[in-house]
Chains A and B, each alone.
Chain A
Amino acid sequence: MPEETKKKRKARKTRRAKEKIKPKKAVLNAPKEEIKKELKISAIEEGTVIDHIPTDATFKVVEILDLENHNGVVSIATNLQSKRLKKKGIVKVGGKSLTQEEVNKIAVVAPDATVNIIKGYNVKEKIKVKMPDVIDNVVKCSNPVCITNNEQIATKFYVVRKDPLKIKCHYCERSMGKEDVEII
């Protein structure tokens, strides 16, 4: 190896060490999206990762799952770049494995979310969000003279059609589409 090349290599190594840049090789092994995720929110050892949430529904997911009152770590990221959704949100819930029933609760706002149950940093189970037949106490009735907007009771809606979404209030019997859906 020519003397000049050796010198150049040595210089590059010293500069990297000074700037604490990790070797390129290790970074290249991870998929691009993973790198982005790693940069935004840290991985969890145990719990649930809800990915591919429409970005404007991220905080609604937090609300629906009542994560404000969760004792473990909750990481929330919105406006992340996504190939599928352009912009998306991710919610990581440490120390809690969501059940299918809990996952279905977010179907109204995030029907295409992917839910991974994590054990020991690995994906142990993938749960698909399914639109339930009945939506209990998630959605507010858009009818101002519905009893549910005037008396302190839980709302209840029947899913009449899944796509495009049409739901019917158990009490006032009015139907509403996705555009009228407001979370309680």
Chain B
Amino acid sequence: MDFKNRDIISINDFSKEELLHILKVARQIEQKPKSNLLKGNILAALFFEPSTRTRLSFISAMEQLSGKVIGFSTANMTSIQKGESLWDTIKMTEQYADVVVIRHPLEGSARLAAEASSIPVINGGDGSNQHPTQTMLDLYTIQKIKDALENLHIGFVGDLKYGRTVHSLVIALSHFSPTFYFIAPDGLQIPENYLDELFQKKIKYHKTSDLRRFGKELDVLYVTRIQKERFPDPLEYEKFKGIYRIDESFLHDVKKDLKIMHPLPRVDEIDKSIDSTEHAAYFEQAANGIPVRKALLALVLGKVK
């Protein structure tokens, strides 16, 4: 499978086989790190809006493989402020680097960047649309903590309406015959178009607002933050914030090997007391950003196949 020069824009662009191949390469890189793999290559990290984990893990992944990083972490200091178009920014960047990672608040910006660019572009998040490398590291984490991806019972709790990580992960996991449990209040439930898609693919799912109702069924519980910034009305946010809280009392009625994931940052959805239990997988999940992003960089630069 050849990923050389391929853009990583949307999880919808990847087949099951391609996703499994990326996970396989990530596993190989994690087990046998090759510290000179990307020597002589330059990553342009174009972060038009703030990011902690995505930006730092891309920089770390590149530098651990002896590559170099150029770029910016806010659009304020660049010619964007002078009115330069995204198209022109990318045309300029491709002269200076071998691969681009872009985060931009406008949806579809990464797709446009890929069309403008002759070097591979990796989407580091385009507004509420896609964040494919997060989805891939989520898949990688599930595969590692459960030793498999097929036939799992996976719960999602929190903001399932606006949360792009949930939407993309639901699509990606649909390749692996899962059973889904969508746990959210009415105003934050998963959008109908995703349910239509699951129905067409004959994937079983349950909808509830009760966190404890399916506790015993779950292999993985994916918790998300209720994102204040996504609510047009602050009163709406107040209504929903703090509605679900995973604490020790929740663990009384779950499978022994239930794993709890969270894309981070968390506010108060998961009590700190969970961190030290066998159930917590969210810090390992964040750490998995490194091997997955290393694998993607190496693949699109043609350093591994």
Contact = CB atoms under 8 A, between A and B. Distances in A.
Say whether chain A's binding surface is mostly helix, strand, loop, or mixed. Answer: loop
B277 interface: no
Contacts of B130: 173
Contacts of A173: 10, 12, 107-108, 129-130
A169 B111 CA distance: 11
Interface string A145-158: 11110111100000
A137 to B, nearest CB: 14
B112 A147 contact: yes
Nearest to B167: A173
B127 interface: yes
Given A145-B105, A145-B106, A147-B106, A170 B111 contact: yes
B193 A169 contact: no
B193 A171 contact: no
Interface of B: 10, 12, 85-87, 104-109, 111-112, 126-130, 193
Interface of A: 143, 145-148, 150-153, 169-175
Given A171-B109, A172-B129, A173-B130, 13 more contacts: A145-B106, A145-B128, A146-B106, A147-B104, A148-B108, A151-B85, A151-B86, A151-B112, A171-B107, A173-B10, A173-B12, A173-B107, A175-B193
18 contacts: A145-B105, A145-B128, A146-B108, A147-B104, A147-B107, A147-B112, A148-B108, A150-B106, A151-B112, A152-B85, A170-B108, A171-B112, A172-B126, A173-B10, A173-B12, A173-B107, A173-B108, A173-B129
